[in-house]
């Protein structure tokens, strides 16, 4: 089987930076992602056809190390292309699949017939010049109608970039987001991510950069005063908001990785442990007589959090076909889905299970904890965390025995 062939028409827009990537890099990475998802056995051949009047110093070839399923060339031939694109086209994530299905009609090769003179006296076919070929291909590429699914759009002027970035980041959330994340945390984190994308920020670097926030928050909680409980929980809420930026950066720059996911999960678990420990030490300070009970509760809750997350991280996934369909609309991470299905929680109905899951999501819980601290009930936060963690571990053990 012949490898897929893509013609990329490049002009000055190849250097336009949109959502943290130059346009030519984004198109190359999007094609590479399509090749990986489509299980292409051979690299997709990507021919970069620069506008002829551009100086050689303005021409370049993408060198991102993540590009493993594309082979670049600048040799133009008359063989047919599966797809013709221009660097003025902005593909949304997974949009190249739609381009391959809807854009093949524009991939007609340029032949000498395209340059046939109108005069009937001339019998000889004249091959089109490089400039004519580029313009013919450009018109063909831009004749592609707008995507019905919003999978891509053209950037005709630099003034459109701000709007496209905002639209792109609005689609960068996850189905697992709770309602606090969707309506409060994400709008803030996206605004921050837009600023970060103007710099060479990476998801892992951002994850490391913000981790001191829950450490400081835990130390603030341990002082045991009303203001320390409030401001300590505010710091955890800030961490919850900023924690969304690393995933948004990764999805904008095609930088998702298993290593990054594990690092993010690890720091989320550590922040949960720091929260219960900070509350335990803080309540011990606030209640000198029986404070040791709160301290023991905080330490036990921290141990339960660690055991629960260790179990979820090391549990073998259910055999293919054994788990039921995701009836909760993608509200659960894969490591939690099988747990819920096996625990018997769905016996109470999908609506009840969905509501319970939404109310116990981390983004909802942290904001609720800020409210409880503000009304002077920090001890209730620790009790709730202890009960929910213990119940979650109990469900996990029950699911394992089934």
**Digit-coded pLDDT (tens) for 164-216:** 999 999 887 776 777 888 899 999 999 999 999 999 999 999 999 999 999 99
Question: Is 241 in the same domain as 253?
Answer: yes
- 154 and 185 in a single domain? The answer is no
- 330 exposure class (CB count in 10 Å sphere: 0-12, 13-18, 19+): exposed
Rg (CA), the chain: 27
Residue 330 confidence (pLDDT): 57
Query: Are 67 and 159 part of one and the same domain?
Result: yes
Average pLDDT for 63-91: 91
Residues 313, 256, single domain; the answer is yes
What is the CB neighbour count within 10 angstroms for residue 323? Answer: 15
Residue 398's pLDDT band, with cuts at 50, 70 and 90, is: low
> What value does the mean pLDDT take over residues 322-345?
54
Backbone angles phi, psi at 53, to 5 degrees: -85, 0
> Of 121, 142, 168, which residue is a domain's last?
168
pLDDT score recorded for residue 318: 53
CB 277, CB 298: distance < 8 Å = yes
Contact between 275 and 214 under an 8 Å Cβ cutoff? The reply is yes
pLDDT of residue 127: 61
364 and 231 inside one domain: yes
Tell me the pLDDT band of 141, cut-offs 50, 70 and 90.
confident
Residues 78, 25 share a domain: yes
20-29, 89-98, 322-331: the lowest-pLDDT one: 322-331
Name the CA dihedral angle for 200, 201, 205, 206, rounded to a multiple of 10 degrees: 160
Q: Are residues 144 and 73 in the same domain?
A: yes
* Residue-wise pLDDT tens digits, 270-299: 999 999 999 999 999 999 888 899 999 999
Please determine, for residue 2, whether its predicted confidence score (pLDDT) is greater than 80. no
Q: Residue 316 belongs to what domain range?
A: 172-401
The pTM for the full model equals: 0.85
Contact yes or no for 80/5 (Cβ under 8 A):
yes
pLDDT(315) > 80: no
pLDDT for the residue numbered 107: 54
Whether 178 contacts 358, CB under 8 Å: yes
Tokens coding 224: 């045991």
Domain boundary among 134, 168, 202: 168
Q: CA torsion 257→263→264→266, rounded to 10°?
A: 140
Of 142, 168, 194, which residue constitutes the final position of a domain?
168
Query: Which among 115, 108, 113 is positioned nearest to 130, based on CA atoms?
Result: 115
Q: Are residue 155 and residue 220 in the same domain, yes or no?
A: no
Adjacent-strand bridge partners of 9: 49, 86
CA distances from 142 to 80, 105, 384 (A): 17, 11, 57
So what's the pLDDT on residue 122?
47
Confidence of residue 317 (pLDDT cuts 50, 70, 90): low
Give pLDDT, residue 30: 95
The total number of structural domains in the chain stands at: 2
- DSSP code, position 315: P
Q: pLDDT tens-digit profile of 334-377?
A: 555 555 555 556 566 666 566 666 677 888 999 999 999 999 99
One domain, residues 216 and 361? yes
The closest of 142, 26, 40 to 92, measured between CA atoms, is 26
58 band by pLDDT with thresholds 50, 70 and 90: very high
Kindly give, in sequence order, each residue whose CB lies less than 8 Å from that of residue 396, ignoring residues fewer than 6 positions away: 308, 311, 312, 315, 339, 343
3-state secondary structure 74-93: CCCCCCCCCEEEECCEEECC
Q: What's the pLDDT at 118? A: 47
- pLDDT of res. 104: 56
Q: 195 and 62 in one domain? A: no
């Amino acid at each position: 089987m012949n490898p897929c062939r893509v013609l990329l028409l490049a002009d000055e827009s190849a250097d336009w930076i949109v959502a943290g990537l130059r346009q030519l890099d984004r198109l190359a990475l999007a094609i590479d992602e399509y090749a990986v998802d489509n299980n292409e056995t051979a690299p997709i051949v990507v021919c970069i056809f620069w506008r002829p009047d551009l100086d050689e110093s303005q021409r370049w070839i993408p060198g991102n190390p993540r590009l493993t399923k594309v082979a670049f060339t600048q040799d133009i031939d008359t063989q047919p292309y599966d797809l013709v694109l221009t660097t003025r086209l902005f593909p949304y994530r997974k949009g190249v699949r739609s381009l391959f299905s809807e854009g093949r009609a524009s991939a007609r090769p340029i032949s000498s017939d395209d340059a046939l003179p109108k005069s009937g006296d001339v019998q000889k076919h004249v091959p089109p010049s490089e400039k004519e070929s580029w313009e013919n291909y450009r018109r063909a590429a831009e004749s592609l109608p707008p995507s019905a699914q919003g999978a891509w759009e053209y950037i005709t002027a630099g003034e459109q970039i701000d709007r496209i970035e905002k639209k792109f980041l609005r689609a960068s959330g996850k189905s697992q987001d709770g309602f606090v994340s969707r309506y409060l945390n994400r709008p803030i984190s996206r605004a921050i991510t837009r600023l970060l994308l103007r710099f060479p920020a990476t998801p892992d670097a951002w994850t490391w950069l913000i981790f001191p926030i829950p450490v400081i928050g835990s130390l603030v909680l341990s002082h045991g005063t009303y203001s320390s409980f409030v401001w300590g929980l505010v710091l955890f809420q800030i961490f919850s908001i900023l924690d969304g930026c690393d995933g948004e950066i990764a999805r904008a720059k095609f930088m998702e990785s298993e290593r990054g996911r594990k690092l993010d999960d690890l720091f989320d678990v550590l922040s949960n442990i720091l929260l219960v420990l900070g509350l335990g030490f803080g309540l011990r300070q606030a209640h000198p007589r029986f404070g040791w009970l709160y301290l023991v509760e905080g330490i036990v809750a921290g141990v339960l959090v660690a055991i629960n997350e260790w179990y979820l991280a090391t549990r073998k996934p259910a055999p293919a076909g054994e788990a039921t369909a995701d009836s909760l609309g993608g509200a659960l991470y894969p490591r939690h889905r099988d747990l819920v299905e096996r625990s018997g929680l769905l016996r109470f109905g999908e609506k009840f299970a969905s509501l319970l899951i939404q109310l116990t999501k981390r983004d909802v819980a942290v904001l609720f904890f800020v409210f409880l601290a503000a009304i002077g009930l920090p001890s209730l936060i620790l009790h709730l965390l202890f009960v929910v963690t213990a119940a979650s571990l109990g469900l996990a053990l029950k699911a394992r025995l089934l």
